[in-house]
């Protein structure tokens, strides 16, 4: 029986387990990436393992999230990461060099290699045929130390692309259509593989847009073949030597398959407050807008920027609209400056931002009160923009630019003849903003620089024999990591300071939660379906750990967050009977009388609602390895124990 592309890469990197769907597998990791919002904690964890030097083929630390320096905190974190990178063998991408996923695609990604990153949009690398997976910072630290990365062997979902995109329809519209079909839960436990004759019509940046937003499906990752289009892209980046062809076998077997006819697509938009709340732009046309933001790791490539510049050329942004544009990398920015496209954007009235994540993670450019903002980003969760009642729509660069000129939601197909944008034969290559690590000999003299905002990794302890605690919070379905641990300009600077960060935990849902958690000292969280969707930020587990959360009991988990809870030593549980969710109220006294024994034996976990006087059962969605981790208090303790 033949194999899919993903199965072939997994086979070549398998260090433990068997490739049977649902079983635990360990993978050798070739490359890692971190960014500054998650990187500080990842490197504190790496230091805690006592390692002198990374053991991966390439590890890169990017500064792209916390670039708004309104105090010393972000600058101190950047200095810490740069010094750690220099000392421990990690390449350092300086502030201004670009967004991690865009730069990694341009300069470091290699078809057929494995990559994990402490950012949920790491699957962007699937656009050039990498097995690229978002993970928690502690998982990345373990991989940098030479350890395997463990996942549950996923199912294989084939998305068959046929035909060719019509004028003014783009890759963003493809992935929005996939989200409309599959929803934000449709990719859970699966690798999405794109195939069919339509693949050859898509450039690498277009493919990367699609794999980037595969994270919103809840998928383990998404991947495209490595073909002649991939070779041409890498050749234009001066890296053709790393190219290799990758394709699925003709008789490869997939667990699921859907087909999308590219020629039938039209411009799409994800409406507030979920990436799968999708309508056609035609349905929304004429809606007044207040703001347009173009960029992010989803749509900030040279091709995207050139499309936008061609639309804006010799025109003026509507007087009622604020337009902000952020190129994805210094390479893109510089090329736009040299060919005149940047001037076209500025001339139209765009506010050009630095090459960083910026508005996508609430770092500036928050819309006005109740403002309608069109964004070429990947997420539109409630409050993520920095404005609690902002209404965020996710659209293509073409739709965004056309709407910015008109002042209302506008179908770009009304613009007339489409301007063709060709991929360059050669990109402008200048890696002067990437600092190589010191040699092992030089590294001995490198001092790691720590600022006062950097606090230690929270202490984890072995699982108690029983847990008695209140249900300190009850929440509904699709709770995101932005609900649990918000981002934004006011909060992100404290990502290396868990005690301070705890002041903001769950405040999107309940402003009193942090104070209540401190009052009771320990607690249990109750939640609905798809709990923890969104970012890979392990802070959404570490901060609850710091606040004394012992277990999280929900209807179902998002993959990365469930893994992060285990890494932190918090017990993840799912209702055996989802009707029991309705029987529990916030502040009920709960007990798990035999928790350690039942986790150790792999049994169903007994839960008693002492307030209501009933007993029910929950499941612990854990592999044998994860059971061992939970029992000793999480991944860091487990790793230290295994090293003895």
List the catalytic residue out of 30, 64, 276, 344.
64
Q: Is 379 a known active-site residue?
A: yes
Query: For residue 20, what are the contacts with CB-CB under 8 A and spacing of at least 6?
Result: 153
pLDDT reported for residue 251: 97
Same domain, 281 and 329: yes
Same domain, 253 and 284: no
Tens of pLDDT, residue by residue over 69-121, are 888 999 999 999 999 999 999 999 999 999 999 999 999 999 999 999 999 99
Here the tokens at position 226 are 């490595």
Same domain, 631 and 496: yes
- The model's pTM is 0.93
Beta-bridged to residue 59, according to DSSP, are 32
Same domain, 238 and 364: no
Q: Is 276 a known active-site residue?
A: no
Q: Does the structure show a pLDDT above 70 at 644? A: no
- Percent of residues, the chain, with pLDDT higher than 70: 100
Number of structural domains found in the chain: 3
Q: Among candidates 600, 601, 617, which has minimal Cα distance to 609?
A: 617
pLDDT band for position 492 (cuts 50, 70, 90): confident
- Alpha-helix residue ranges (DSSP H) falling in 320-423: 330-339, 341-348, 397-406
Domain end, chosen from 410, 429, 453, is at 410
Domain end, chosen from 367, 395, 410, is at 410
In a domain, 214, yes or no: yes
Tens of pLDDT, residue by residue over 138-158, are 999 999 999 999 999 999 999
Q: What domain range includes position 556? A: 467-637
Q: Is 537 a known active-site residue?
A: yes
List the catalytic residue out of 119, 139, 411, 609.
119
pLDDT band for position 487 (cuts 50, 70, 90): confident
Tens of pLDDT, residue by residue over 308-338, are 999 999 999 999 999 999 999 999 999 999 9
114: left (phi over 0), alpha (psi -120 to 50) or beta: beta
List the catalytic residue out of 78, 107, 239, 379.
379
- Kindly tell me the sign of the dihedral angle through the C-alpha atoms of 328, 329, 330, 331: negative
Same domain, 69 and 193: yes
Q: Is 119 a known active-site residue?
A: yes
Tens of pLDDT, residue by residue over 337-394, are 999 999 999 999 999 999 999 999 988 999 999 999 999 999 999 889 999 999 999 9
Strand 351-352 relative to strand 322-325: parallel, antiparallel, unpaired?
parallel
Same domain, 614 and 489: yes
Mean pLDDT value of segment 211-236: 97
Q: What are phi and psi of 318, to 5 degrees?
A: -55, 140
Mean pLDDT value of segment 381-410: 96
Query: For residue 486, what are the contacts with CB-CB under 8 A and spacing of at least 6?
Result: 362, 383, 384, 504, 507, 508
Three-state secondary-structure class, residue 8: helix
Same domain, 50 and 176: yes
Q: Is 483 a known active-site residue?
A: no
Same domain, 249 and 294: no
Same domain, 214 and 184: yes
List the catalytic residue out of 120, 300, 301, 535.
535
- d(CA 599, CA 605) in angstroms, rounded, equals 7
> What is the DSSP code string of 103-158?
HHHHHT--TT-EEEESSTTGGGGGGGT-EEEE--HHHHHHHHTTPPEEEEPPEEEE
Tens of pLDDT, residue by residue over 178-208, are 999 999 999 999 999 999 999 999 999 999 9
Same domain, 166 and 20: yes
- Is-cis flag, bond preceding 431, omega within 30? no
Q: Does the structure show a pLDDT above 80 at 643? A: no
pLDDT reported for residue 51: 87
In a domain, 136, yes or no: yes
Q: Among candidates 603, 566, 424, 617, which has minimal Cα distance to 139?
A: 566
pLDDT reported for residue 85: 98
Strand 91-93 relative to strand 58-62: parallel, antiparallel, unpaired?
parallel
List the catalytic residue out of 537, 539, 559, 561.
537
Same domain, 222 and 275: no
Domain end, chosen from 236, 264, 292, is at 264
pLDDT reported for residue 1: 81
First to last CA, the chain: 41
List the catalytic residue out of 65, 158, 413, 561.
65
Q: Is 535 a known active-site residue?
A: yes
Token pair 């007339």 is at which residue? 416
In a domain, 131, yes or no: yes
Domain with residue 313: its CATH number is 3.30.499.10
Instruction: Give kind and range of the element (H or E) at residue 232.
Output: helix 228-236
């Amino acid at each position: 029986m033949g194999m899919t592309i993903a199965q072939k890469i997994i086979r070549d990197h398998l260090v433990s387990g068997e490739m049977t769907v649902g079983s635990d597998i360990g993978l050798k990791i070739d490359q890692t990436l971190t960014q500054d919002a998650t990187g500080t904690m990842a490197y504190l964890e790496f230091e805690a393992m006592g390692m002198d030097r990374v053991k991966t083929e390439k590890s890169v630390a990017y500064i792209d999230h916390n670039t708004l320096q309104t105090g010393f905190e972000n600058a101190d974190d950047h200095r810490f990461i740069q010094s750690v990178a220099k000392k421990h063998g990690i390449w350092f991408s300086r502030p201004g060099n670009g967004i991690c996923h865009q730069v990694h695609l341009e300069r470091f990604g290699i078809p057929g290699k494995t990559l994990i990153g402490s950012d949920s949009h790491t699957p962007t690398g699937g656009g050039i045929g990498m097995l690229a997976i978002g993970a928690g910072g502690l998982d990345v630290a373990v991989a940098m130390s030479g350890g395997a990365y463990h996942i549950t062997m996923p199912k294989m979902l084939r998305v068959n692309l046929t035909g060719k995109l019509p004028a003014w329809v783009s890759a963003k519209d493809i992935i929005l259509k996939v989200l409309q079909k599959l929803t934000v839960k449709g990719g859970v436990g699966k690798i999405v593989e794109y195939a069919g004759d339509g693949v050859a019509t898509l450039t690498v940046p277009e493919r990367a847009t699609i794999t980037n937003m595969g994270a919103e499906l809840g998928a383990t990752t998404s991947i495209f073949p490595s073909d002649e289009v991939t070779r041409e892209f890498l050749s234009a980046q001066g890296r053709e030597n790393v190219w290799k062809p990758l394709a699925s076998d003709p008789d490869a077997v997939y667990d699921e398959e859907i087909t999308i006819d590219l020629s039938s697509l039209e411009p799409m938009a994800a409406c507030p407050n979920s990436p799968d709340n999708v309508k056609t732009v035609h349905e929304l046309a004429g809606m007044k807008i207040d703001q347009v933001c173009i960029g992010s790791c989803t749509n900030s490539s040279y091709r995207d920027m050139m499309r936008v510049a061609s639309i804006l050329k010799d025109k003026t942004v509507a007087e009622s609209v604020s337009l902000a544009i952020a190129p994805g990398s210094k390479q893109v920015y510089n090329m736009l400056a040299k060919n005149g496209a940047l001037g076209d954007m500025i001339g139209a009235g765009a506010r050009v931002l630095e090459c960083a994540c910026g508005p996508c993670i609430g770092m500036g450019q928050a819309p006005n009160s109740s403002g309608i903002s069109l964004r070429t980003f990947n997420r539109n969760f409630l409050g993520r923009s920095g404005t609690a009642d902002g209404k965020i729509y996710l659209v293509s660069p073409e739709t965004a630019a056309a709407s910015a000129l008109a002042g209302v939601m506008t179908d770009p197909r009304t613009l007339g003849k489409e301007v063709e944008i060709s991929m360059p034969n050669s990109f402008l290559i200048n890696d002067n903003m990437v600092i190589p690590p010191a040699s092992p000999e030089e590294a001995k003299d490198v001092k790691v620089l720590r600022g006062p905002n950097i606090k230690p990794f929270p202490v984890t302890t072995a699982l108690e024999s029983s847990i008695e605690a209140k249900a300190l919070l009850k929440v509904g379905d699709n709770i995101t990591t932005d609900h649990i641990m918000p981002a934004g300009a006011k909060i992100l600077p404290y990502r290396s300071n868990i005690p301070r960060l705890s002041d903001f935990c769950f405040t999107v849902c309940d402003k009193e939660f942090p104070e209540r958690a401190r009052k009771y000292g320990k607690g249990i969280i109750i939640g609905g379906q798809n709990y923890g969707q969104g970012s890979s930020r392990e802070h959404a587990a570490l901060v609850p750990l710091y606040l004394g959360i012992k277990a999280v009991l929900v209807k179902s988990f998002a993959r990365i967050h469930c893994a992060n809870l285990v890494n932190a030593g918090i017990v993840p549980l799912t209702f055996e009977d989802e009707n029991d969710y309705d029987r529990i109220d916030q502040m009920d006294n709960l007990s798990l009388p035999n928790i350690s024994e039942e986790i150790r034996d792999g049994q169903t976990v007994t839960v008693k609602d002492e307030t209501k006087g009933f007993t029910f059962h929950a499941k612990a969605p854990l592999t044998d390895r994860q059971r061992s981790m939970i029992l000793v208090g999480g991944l860091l303790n487990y790793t230290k124990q295994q090293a003895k």
